[in-house]
Chain A
Amino acid sequence: DTAVSQTPKYLVTQMGNDKSIKCEQNLGHDTMYWYKQDSKKFLKIMFSYNNKELIINETVPNRFSPKSPDKAHLNLHINSLELGDSAVYFCASSPGQGRTTGELFFGEGSRLTVL
């Protein structure tokens, strides 16, 4: 059983389209994250939810909207896709407030290519 799973693994789409990436974790963790990894492999935090509550919201365009229906799921919806959105998006989780050292458990990534 995969601990942190993301779908889809690959996304190829045209500029201006809307797309979603889904993430699920079966580790019983309270906190989930979205990271963006650019072509130079730099990892940047985008959002974090703790038990469905948004706790980190970095400077990210409003076109990106996370949603956490429950603490095991975190989705990312992107509107009006732009070329610069092309990247690998990683979902991660950690045990949660008071129970974590900051160790992160990552999914396999979703590679988004905007044409």
Chain B
Amino acid sequence: DTGVSQDPRHKITKRGQNVTFRCDPISEHNRLYWYRQTLGQGPEFLTYFQNEAQLEKSRLLSDRFSAERPKGSFSTLEIQRTEQGDSAMYLCASSSIDSNSGNTIYFGEGSWLTVV
């Protein structure tokens, strides 16, 4: 499978616990994105990496959220001290900087988070 993969697919955690999601983008893609999707809504942009550099963070990404892409390949999204409002699906996506294919952004299957 050469698509975007995310792990875990589902996570149930108690309020106050920390969780970490991993994303492996398509191998030749140097752009990586995280989005959050709550029930009944479209995805909302969280953050963007070009290679290992985090170039933009949404205001939705509070201080409890941190994302990394240490070697410009896979990325992690950590949520500290989870709250019930963090319950959502976290989508990772990747795209190429190539102008011919850069208009296509490929999403993973998402990581569902439930905070109880």
Chains A and B are bound partners: no
A residues contacting B by CB (< 8 A) are none
